[in-house]
Amino acid sequence: MQFSIYEPDGQLIYRHIYDQTPYMTAYMMDFSFPEPELADWDFFVALKGSFDYMRENAHKHHGAASPDDSSISRVEAGKPASRSGWWHTPAKQNSRRYFKQGDVFPEIEGSAYGATFWQWSPDQSDPKL
């Protein structure tokens, strides 16, 4: 699970890759552990009061936006890519793909996510085959 926090203007503040495996293991061993909490409750409780810290320290943490990425935010479908590189959209799983600067981002039709926004991928390496 990936969690990203954005400024109101769309700039990335912080990105966290969250591994819920330990909680899923606990749930599988003890069915009294409430399943809905696995994906979000424990994670969001841990975030309480952390937004100012993350905003001030995002550049120090692995996986956070680098200074070069700070000007890149999410881009709506139908608009051109602001720079060449790997982009992805939450509107479709495994959507990471390479766009050249000026390429127009496509709309993902039939997505339950809603409007399609493309985001700069923190991993700019070529895919491994």
* Spatial distance between the Cα atoms of 96 and 120, rounded to a whole number of angstroms: 9
| pTM beyond 0.75, yes or no | no
* Spatial distance between the Cα atoms of 123 and 78, rounded to a whole number of angstroms: 23
Listed residue (83, 87, 117) closest to 100, CA to CA: 83
Q: What pLDDT does 70 receive? A: 46
Q: Are 20 and 38 in contact (CB under 8 A)?
A: yes
Q: Are 118 and 105 in contact (CB under 8 A)?
A: yes
CB atoms within 10 A of CB 32: 5
Per-residue pLDDT of the chain (129 residues; tens, 9 = 90+): 677 778 777 777 777 766 666 656 655 655 554 555 445 555 555 555 565 666 666 666 544 444 454 456 789 999 999 899 999 998 888 899 999 999 999 999 988 878 899 999 888 888 887
